């Protein structure tokens, strides 16, 4: 099982309701000694809370991507990182959460399990369609 030390938080753009979830994740990951990277959307939300510095780049590349939002946010992150082999996990702040299946109520417990290597990795196939 890989060790996750650098974690990228990806969030649904323009959704201020995600701020507290991102703040909780950031604090938890920092306490665990992880380096936290932020995509531009997460950075914008956390800068409003006085969080900085924000790291938009992926240098070094993340070991894990956490998508905070719904299935659309997870799919966006999957498209972005599909060729890099970086694992993704989704915290569901959308409606159903078929893909982003970690609920906010259990996210710290589940993330603790993931960081401790107690998880099962699912491989997914990505299709490309054109109309």
Catalytic positions are: 71
Structure tokens at 31: 């306490």
Distance CA 31, CA 129 (A): 42
108, 24 contact by CB (below 8 A): yes
Q: Is 73 exposed, middle or buried (0-12, 13-18, 19+ CB in 10 A)?
A: buried
Quick one: which of 31, 32, 41, 33 has its CA closest to 9? 41
Distance CA 9, CA 108 (A): 14
């Amino acid at each position: 099982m890989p060790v996750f030390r650098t974690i990228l938080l990806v969030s649904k753009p323009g959704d201020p309701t995600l701020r507290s979830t991102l703040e909780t994740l950031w604090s938890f990951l920092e306490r665990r000694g992880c380096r936290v990277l932020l995509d531009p959307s997460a950075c914008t939300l956390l800068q409003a809370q006085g969080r900085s510095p924000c790291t938009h780049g992926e240098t070094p590349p993340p070991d894990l991507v956490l998508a905070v939002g719904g299935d659309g946010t997870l799919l966006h992150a999957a498209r972005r990182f599909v060729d890099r082999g970086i694992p993704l996990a989704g915290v569901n702040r959308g409606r159903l959460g078929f893909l982003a299946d970690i609920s906010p109520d259990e996210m710290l417990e589940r993330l603790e399990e993931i960081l401790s290597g107690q998880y099962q990795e699912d491989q997914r196939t990505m299709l490309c369609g054109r109309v």
